[in-house]
Chain A
Amino acid sequence: MGKMVNAYIVAYNSLQSVLWAISFALIVNELLGSSYKTVNQNVGPVLRTAQVLSVLETAHAALGLVRSSVGTNLLQWVARTHVLVMVVYYIPEVQEHVAVTVMYTAWALAEIVRYPWYACSTAGVCPDWLTWLRYTAFIPLYPVGTLGEIVLVYLALPIVKERSLYSFTMPNLFNFGFDYYTFLIGALCIYPFGWWSLYSYMLKSRNRKYGQKKQE
Chain B
Amino acid sequence: MKLTLLSRSGREVAEFDIADDATVDDLQAQIQRLSKEKKLKGIKTDLYPARQRLSIPAVEEKAKPVVLTVGKALSAFGLKTGDKLTLKDLGTQIGYQTVFFWEYFGPMVIFPMFLVFRKQIYGADFEPSETQLLATAYWMFHYFKRIVETYTVHSFSHATMPIFNLFRNSGYYWGFAAMVAYFICHPFYTSPPLERVYAGLAAALLMQVCNLTTHINLASLRAPGMKGYQIPRGFGFNFITCANYTFEIYGWFCFNIATQSVMGVVFMCCGAGQMVIWAGQKHARLRKLFDGKDGKEKYPRRFVILPPFI
Contact = CB atoms under 8 A, between A and B. Distances in A.
Contacts of A175: 183-184, 186, 189-190, 259-263
Interface residues of B, number: 11
27 contacts: A170-B183, A170-B186, A170-B188, A170-B189, A171-B188, A172-B190, A173-B190, A173-B260, A174-B260, A174-B261, A174-B262, A175-B183, A175-B184, A175-B186, A175-B189, A175-B190, A175-B259, A175-B260, A175-B261, A175-B262, A175-B263, A176-B183, A176-B262, A176-B263, A177-B183, A177-B186, A177-B188
Interface in A161-216: 169-177
Closest 4 CB pairs of A and B: A170-B188, A176-B262, A175-B261, A171-B188
Contacts of B262: 174-176
A149 to B, nearest CB: 25
Contacts, number: 32
Given A174-B260, A175-B183, A176-B263, 16 more contacts: A170-B183, A170-B188, A170-B189, A170-B190, A171-B190, A173-B190, A173-B260, A174-B262, A175-B186, A175-B189, A175-B259, A175-B260, A175-B261, A176-B261, A176-B262, A177-B183
Interface of A: 169-177
Contacts of B260: 173-175
Contacts of A176: 183, 261-263
Contacts of A169: 188
A176 B260 CA distance: 10
A171 B261 CA distance: 11
Interface string B168-207: 0000000000000001101011100000000000000000
Contacts of B186: 170, 175, 177
A175 B185 CA distance: 10
A36 B260 CA distance: 50
A170 B183 CA distance: 9
Contacts of B261: 174-176
B175 to A, nearest CB: 13
B178 to A, nearest CB: 14
Contacts of A177: 183, 186, 188
Interface centre among A169, A171, A172, A175 (most CB of B within 10 A): A175
Nearest to A176: B262
Nearest to A169: B188
Contacts of A172: 190
B183 A171 contact: no
B191 to A, nearest CB: 9
